[in-house]
Chain A
Amino acid sequence: MSWFIKYRPKSLSEVENQDQVKEELKRWIDSWLKGKPTNKAVLLYGRPGSGKTTLAYAIARDNNFEILETNASDTRNLGNIRRIVEVGMQQSSLFGKSKLILLDEVDGINRKSDEGAIQGILDIISETKYPIIMTANDPWDPKLKELRESAKLIEVPKLGKIAMRKILKKICEKEKIKCHDDAINIIVDIADGDARFAINSLESVATTYSEVAVNLVEGILRRKEAQYDPFETLRKTFWAKYGWQAKDAVTNSEVDYELLMRWFDENIPIQYEDTKSMTLAFESLSRASIFLSRAKKGNWDQLSYLFDMMGPGVSMADRTKALPTWKAKWKTFKFPSYIQMLARSKQIRREKQEYVEEIAKASHCSYDKALSEIYPFIEVIDKKKK
């Protein structure tokens, strides 16, 4: 059993720090126990390893609740979520134990492949007889809007260094491992509030060397991969001297690859003033878009080529990079405006679409034909009428 699970606090009282969160959770559960829940669901949010899932397990244990859990690794469509919850609810009468529903990592829901999942959760929230805890890293993700509005939001702040040090030292004692304070400090620094990462790191050093010393820690722990914001991703890609740097930039971006393509689409003409580089960069991006479409059709291996085209492909399109005189050019990047454009004109486009559909139906022809061959004439007539 991994140490992270083995030493997971069994009760809220064992959880280091997080006093405010504990207090809020207790009050919420109490309201359930009194039969008058203030909220049916809470959404615990915070960075990875801050203790969201641990808190949910701890409070369930403290109240002798059984946990019904789904997380991102389950296929999470409407049917599945409902089934898990419904089966759980039926069983409850057999054991006489009350339950807590844990929907872990709700931001891992994929809007396309888990179609209906959000609605399914909303239904469960409105019908539930048991408290529901959801967890997410990023609660501001637009797809979580409805979940956000239907739950009480509780932030789980990242663990402080003192608390983290305490946790690691306690584990060392229990495992009877010789741990040097400086080595623990390095792990604490690198983990930056992520308890899962810290405990996993401690375990991997300890089980490899049966000792936790500075040189061993430094040798085995690579710095945790950074996540670049979109501006940083663009800058790192455009400024990369080598292909791997550009690949690193796009693969470690906090922006997902589909949205990242829009960022490049917007900013290639800004970064590349000479037409040849711009054209080559767009050619690469257009190749990337093909690999994306193949990946989405199920050939997920193709995704890796998307990153090659979007990162190194776009980066090396700069014809001057090979020259010794090359210098990175500082540019002010722009937000992808195409997405905003699409959002703003949604209403107008829908109206036009409905109009053309009507024409197509009346004219016994397809939508495309109505749009390209009949609509232009009607537009002339309508304009004149006005």
Chain B
Amino acid sequence: MAEALWAEKYRPRTLSEIVNQKDIVNRLMKFVEEKNMPHLLFAGSPGTGKTTAALALVRDLYGDNYEQFFLELNASDERGIDVIRNKVKEFARISVQGDVKFKVILLDEADNMTSDAQQALRRIMEVYTSATRFILACNYLSKIIEPIQSRTALFRFYPLKKEDVITRLKYIAEEEGVSYDEKGLDTIYEVVSGDMRRAINLLQASSSYGKVTQESVFKVLGMTKPKEVQDMVKSALKGDFAKARESLRVLLVNEGLSGEDIIKQMHRIIFSNDMDMPEELRVIIADYLGEAEFRLTEGADDEIQLSAILARIVLLGEKYIGNK
């Protein structure tokens, strides 16, 4: 799988292969030299190289057999604090033979952890600090509690610059024997706004249509856009509840999206130009979406919550657009 995905195939293996984020790389290289490091906190938007830097750092520290010294936990793993404690204990139990005296745990998407979990994590970080160093990666620094911020060395990852993205895309295209034009690559950069992974995925998907051009890029974007969600909202606005609900069920059942995914996509869509509706209505729907999302976090049933939202949109559509 990793070979089939260009974003993985061309992920830099060592710190020296990382072309951008120079300041960060230099600081990390120091840790490798000294064979020591504090707990680290990587903050930055998606696709800016947080995971890549973490993986490259451990590979430089431990060599190719880094996996026995390295544990990766992300939002799909059960991250209840007991789980973390047990996993950390288990992992830290066997001490390291070699120059580097500690192991590394990468906690990806750490900003998805509740503040209670973060508080407990902070204790664990202190207790096990001699055996284990943590790298926490997050999109939003503000969601990480102060005590953790103060106990870690902060690294801010900024969106990649245009020339860095384009250079990398050209390199990959040439390696893979893909033809492209400048306009095509420019378009990719414009839509991904500094997210390297998305850029490479988009390049790979576009290349399956032959040459990478503005046209093929837009084509892929059209296909990957959540059209079903858009259709669902449009049906509801037109007053067709039955059809809207059919779309909803396809999304939940066939596409396997969670209720929260669908609400987030709806949220994005209602403020986009693809949806034609009075501005006032966008705000009202957003309000209901926020409430529904909260109810889902309380454990309410997603199909029923979203059906209720669709019924509400039908009603609002009648009032503001007047389709009945």
Contact = CB atoms under 8 A, between A and B. Distances in A.
Interface string B1-22: 1100101100000000000000
Contacts of A359: 1, 5
B76 A376 contact: no
Given A275-B318, A282-B311, A365 B74 contact: yes
A290 B295 CA distance: 7
A360 B239 CA distance: 38
B213 to A, nearest CB: 15
B307 interface: yes
Contacts of A265: 303-304, 307
Nearest to A295: B299
Nearest to B47: A373
Interface string A252-289: 00000000010001001100000110110111011001
Contacts of A384: 208-209
Contacts of B287: none
A341 B252 CA distance: 10
A26 interface: no
Contacts of A292: 300-301
B5 A353 contact: no
Contacts of A93: none
B299 A294 contact: yes
Interface string A297-326: 100000000000000000000000000000
Given A261-B304, A372-B261, A364 B76 contact: no
Contacts of A368: 75-76, 258, 261
B242 A269 contact: yes
Contacts of B253: 338, 341-342, 345, 349
A364 B312 CA distance: 39
A374 B299 contact: no
Interface string A359-375: 11111111111011110
A279 B75 CA distance: 35
Given A377-B201, A377-B202, A338 B74 contact: no
A380 B223 contact: yes
A358 interface: yes
Nearest to B324: A275
A381 interface: yes
Nearest to B207: A381
A366 B75 contact: yes
Contacts of A349: 253-254, 256
A279 B108 contact: no
B59 interface: no
Interface string B297-322: 01111011101100110110010000
B60 interface: no
Contacts of A285: 304, 307-308
Contacts of A293: 298-301
A348 interface: yes
Nearest to B310: A282
Contacts of A378: 5, 201, 205
A97 interface: no
Task: Name, among B7, B198, B254, B315, the residue most crowded by chain A CB atoms within 10 Å (CB to CB).
Answer: B315
Given A278-B311, A374-B7, 16 more contacts: A265-B307, A275-B324, A286-B292, A341-B253, A345-B253, A348-B254, A362-B2, A362-B5, A364-B72, A366-B75, A366-B77, A366-B109, A368-B261, A371-B257, A377-B205, A379-B224
24 contacts: A261-B304, A269-B245, A275-B239, A275-B241, A275-B324, A279-B315, A285-B307, A286-B304, A289-B300, A290-B299, A290-B300, A297-B299, A338-B303, A348-B254, A349-B254, A360-B74, A362-B2, A363-B2, A363-B197, A364-B108, A365-B108, A372-B261, A379-B223, A380-B205
* 10 closest residue pairs by CB, A with B: A293-B299, A376-B224, A366-B75, A282-B308, A367-B76, A286-B308, A377-B201, A384-B208, A362-B1, A362-B2
